[in-house]
Amino acid sequence: MINMSGELHLVVGYSCNNRCIHCFMEDTRIELGAAGKPLDKPTDEVKKEMQNPEIGTVLFTGGEPTIRGDFLELLRVAKNLGLSVSLQTNGRTFCVEGFAKKVMDIAPEMSFTIPLHSDKPKTHDEITRVGGSWKETTDGIKNLKKYGARNICAKTVIQRSNYKDLDKIVELASGLGAKKISLTFPQIGGNRFAKWHEIVPRLREIEDYVKGAIKKANELGTEITADAIPFCVLEGYEEYCGDLNTVLLPSIEGRFYKRKTNQEEDIIKDLEIGRRTKADKCIGCKYFYVCIGVWRGYIGLYGTGEFKHVAGNMINDVGDFLKELGRIK
């Protein structure tokens, strides 16, 4: 899928060497397996998707793209096409120094998003359900930095097992050389075996810890965003809401999840907003028109009792809000 800025979000398949307890692709893997279909796209199909003149950037995602036998080949194709490259990866394969070097030799400017779910190896490994994955991921980040990686985003999926340690995770990620940290609230669904009540905390439980992590990132001079967390939970820290970077289509119907914007629109974000919703009490909140809401699955899990209506003058457009926050001029 290509967004308005010419970035191709290229899902190369669903095979993965982690088995994260919060993964929303688990059902897809099960269904493909039951139907006798391959989990991954064939090489020729992936190459063909990149051969679109409208594309300027390709984001390889999965599954885990780097465990494909043809990953280096696909990377070379992207570079030969003149594309900028981004990669969503668990980073484990980069613990092999030679592999990290090969990748950086091909695409030295590549951006990486790498999950780091805890500062504690045991907790991270319990989340990924793979022993030793924390060490491989952290070693992988070190190797990428050794060979020149400049744009690494460490992504932490917030869970019951890690939310009290978010500031320590920020400290670890910054120490490893991450340029940015994304604290992301988990998407509920897509995994029939997940015990969501045991995995997902309430938003009000994590509020102070998220703000504490933001403070820590500011102390360390590391960029940070809080993603899929509404403004009412981030009160006083609204400028760190990752949803401010989300641009939406005006075609979405319904008063509870339509957001106004004066910017160019993006079909990918149209799909994202369709998975979000708001509560009746959100109507009239000062953030109503610039807020996407929460994952639909969250309300199914916990209801809407903890949401609060923030009083104040209505903010009618995300562009105006960004100006107010000093994010744009």
User: What's the whole-model pTM score?
Assistant: 0.90
What is the average per-residue pLDDT within 286-315?
90
Q: What is the rounded radius of gyration, in angstroms, for the C-alpha atoms of the chain?
A: 20
Cα first-last separation, the chain: 30
The answer to whether 10 and 59 are in contact (CB under 8 A) is: yes
What confidence category does residue 292 fall into, taking pLDDT thresholds of 50, 70 and 90?
confident
Spans of all domains in the chain: 7-227, 245-329
CA gap 126, 283 in Å, rounded? 39
Q: Over the stretch 59-86, which tens digit does the pLDDT of each residue have?
A: 999 999 999 999 999 999 999 999 999 9
Average pLDDT, rounded, for the chain: 89
Biggest CA pair distance of the chain: 56
**CATH code at 7-227:** 3.20.20.70
What SS3 class is residue 165?
Answer: helix
Residues in the chain: 329
Q: Over the stretch 194-225, which tens digit does the pLDDT of each residue have?
A: 999 999 999 999 999 999 999 999 999 999 99
CA gap 171, 178 in Å, rounded? 10
What DSSP string describes 176-217? HT-SEEEEEPPPP-S-TT--HHHHPPPHHHHHHHHHHHHHHH
What confidence category does residue 6 fall into, taking pLDDT thresholds of 50, 70 and 90?
confident
